[in-house]
Amino acid sequence: MPDSTVDRQFLGSIPEMYERYLVPLIFEPYGADLAERVRGRRLDRVLELAAGTGAVTRHLARCLPAACELVATDLQQPMLDQAASVAMSRPVQWRQADAMQLPFPDASFDAVLCQFGVMFFPDKRAAFAEARRVLRPGGVFLFNVWDAIEHNEFADTVTQALAHVFPADPPLFLARTPHGSHDTDALTVDLARAGFARAPEVETVTARSRAPSPNIPAVAYCQGTPLRNEIEARGEGRLVMATDAAMQAIARRFGRGPVDGKIQAHVFTVRNG
């Protein structure tokens, strides 16, 4: 198995490709969903973990009360730089931070949100404990995780296509990390051991991932995620070849015109006390 740090490296052109292709492809519907879950709550200060390029941040900026302070963090400064380059409807405090060692005082936020970042935390229990620590009593922690890869059709198709391209050593980033934390029971245990006394509410949310051509999801996954690191490690010129193989596989399964695939995730809501 590759060094787990490789799975968390969003370097070079990955942040820009991630924002251009992956955000509209799979993150937008879940970003809107997560932000809507805090709409109407009495909130003075909100923290976002693993904000990436700001997919949820933009939704939060539109739906939170005008006086609410919004702080968005990510471990990867290049992702925050990409996020900050996009105009927001309100001021946002962008801050580089490790979710497992948050640089904030105890009980300093009314809500903590994290979209598809939990899967990248090396120690989920530590990150959950930090989220609980910075939450005020009665505050809410919301996060989502992708379901198993077979419930996410484009990601599954790309992974299978690359297994044919590299049969001796298939790149398994998508199955291993983004889709590797779908066990809701295990996450519930981690939340309890992190100090959350209440059981979480867990909802499975299914949506559709649409693109004007098979090339878009192929580029999104192969070039806009750390899967790119795995592909490029297998030799010069392999990225173009792998992206083309992924595109052809998507075209065979979904057609050569506009494509439409299932995506599915679990959404957790847990109160602090």
Please give the share of the chain, as a percent, with pLDDT higher than 70. Answer: 98
**Which CATH number is 184's domain given?**
3.40.50.150
- If one counts the domains in the chain, the total is 1
User: Which uninterrupted H or E stretch holds 259?
Assistant: strand 259-271
Which tokens belong to 209?
Answer: 């991932």
d(CA 65, CA 42): 8
Q: Shortest CA distance to 118 belongs to which of 20, 64, 207, 52?
A: 52
pTM of the predicted model as reported, rounded to 2 decimal places: 0.95
**102-120: per-residue pLDDT in tens?**
999 999 999 999 999 999 9
pLDDT at 23: 97
4 band by pLDDT with thresholds 50, 70 and 90 = low
What residues form DSSP beta bridges with 89?
none
Domain housing 25: 4-271
Of 167, 171, 165, residue with least CA distance to 221: 171
Mean pLDDT of 23-40: 96
Neighbours of 146 (CB within 10 A): 24
Question: Are 200 and 135 a contacting pair, CB within 8 Å?
Answer: no
